Every structure is written in C-alpha cells, then in structure tokens.
A = this chain, B = another copy of it.
C-alpha cells in the first residue's frame, strides 16, 4: 500500500488519462469507479492492477485483499478522477479482458452499429444483460465500452455477458453462418411492426446510429427490418429506449 496526496503525481496523471479511448487502448487497462463496480470486478475474476481509495476506506476488506496494489489517495485526487459529483472515493484500474475470437453465435444477440452516445451504449448493454441476452457485438465505429461514461450507464454488465468488438460486416457474416435471424431496425414501407413478428429463438437485433439509423448496406443484409409503431407526434424514440422495447418485445415468455 502506498499514499499519494498530490494531483500532480505522475501516476495519478496517468490514471486521469484513462478517460480517453486512446490511452485505454495503449495501456490495455481502464478505470472503474464506486464500490459496486469494484466489488463486481473482484467477484467476476477481473485482473485488478491498482486499487485507489481515500483514507477513510483504507481498512475496508477490499483494500486489504489488494494490499500490494492499493494506493491511498487524497479527496482532491478522488474528485479529479471521478465522473460523479459526490465520489465514493474508490476506484480500480483493471485489465481490458482479452477476447478470444468468436466463431459461432447462439441465442439472442444485440449488434450495435455506429451507436455514438456513451450513455446509450452502456444502457443498451445493461438492458441486454437484464433481458438475459447471450451477448453484444459492437461495431468498430460504436463508442468504446471502456470509457468512463459507458461504464457509468453499463453498471458492471461487461462482467455478465460477452461483448465483442468487430467489423459489422464480419458480425453479419457470423450471424448468417450461425443461422441467427437478423433483424434491422428501421421505419420504411417494407419494415414490419416488431409486435407482429412470429417469435424465434435465435436472432440478432441490430440497433443503429442515433441520428442516421442503419445504413443501406446493413439494412439489405438483414432477414427482416422491423420498427416500433409511433402513434403520437414524436419523430422518433431514443435509441436506448427503442432497444429496450425491441429486446423485450422479441422474446417469448
């Protein structure tokens, strides 16, 4: 265990940089915050490289367990590292897990195609977890899941279900090869309301960009394009809400 009080400490500066995707990629580590997430990381056998806690937590069991990796930090540093207004004063730097290549998909999957808002990405993954989906694939142009803002809305779901990042075209090929029914989400003349579908057991649901939806190439690679009926005057739904309605709506109970 060691103590750092200055915000200008080089190690602290380095941890601060972990809010950037570039730095996460470079170091192969990311930062999580709060008791809930740090405990979940521990319980789910994540590799904890460093644990950071304010002085009032130094006798906590979790800090004792990771004694050699623990750094006690000042409240100032905790505030600087935190994404929230009232930090709990506990953080961990953990290794981005290595994903073996996936060669087969079964069950219910969500594909994120160029979803840009970190809050939306995190919320969709959390919903996929809650709804018992088998996994999530994010396209290379979707917001990186190890960013703090995604972490915050994902609430630890990265520890509960597999999340792969790959080229969307490859993901679609994999879905076909795996005989998943592929649903695109779109409003057009050939799309059908999601609630009129015959339910299937193995499928992939693709959610698109907040402003532009799915591109033509993706839509034409699907088995069926579906939409949520808009009955009022709103122009559209928030993508995370739409994903939730569809994820639950496509399941048989």
Q: Mark interface residues in A212-253 (1 if CB within 8 Å of B CB, else 0).
A: 000000000000000011111111111011111100110001
| Cross-chain contact A193 with B155 (CB below 8 angstroms) | no
Q: Indicate which residue in B157, B236, B248 contacts A228 across the interface (CB closer than 8 Å).
A: B248
State the CA gap A234–B235 with chains docked (Å).
30
CB proximity to B under 8 Å, residues A187-209: 193, 195-196
List chain A positions with a Cβ less than 8 A from chain B.
119, 123, 126-133, 153, 155-157, 159-161, 193, 195-196, 228-238, 240-245, 248-249, 253
State the CA gap A245–B234 with chains docked (Å).
17
State the CA gap A11–B253 with chains docked (Å).
58
| Cross-chain contact B131 with A232 (CB below 8 angstroms) | yes
Copies of this chain, complex-wide, total: 2
| Cross-chain contact B234 with A129 (CB below 8 angstroms) | yes
| Cross-chain contact B232 with A160 (CB below 8 angstroms) | yes
Q: Indicate which residue in B129, B231, B232 contacts A232 across the interface (CB closer than 8 Å).
A: B129
Select from chain B the residue with minimum beta-carbon distance to A236: B130
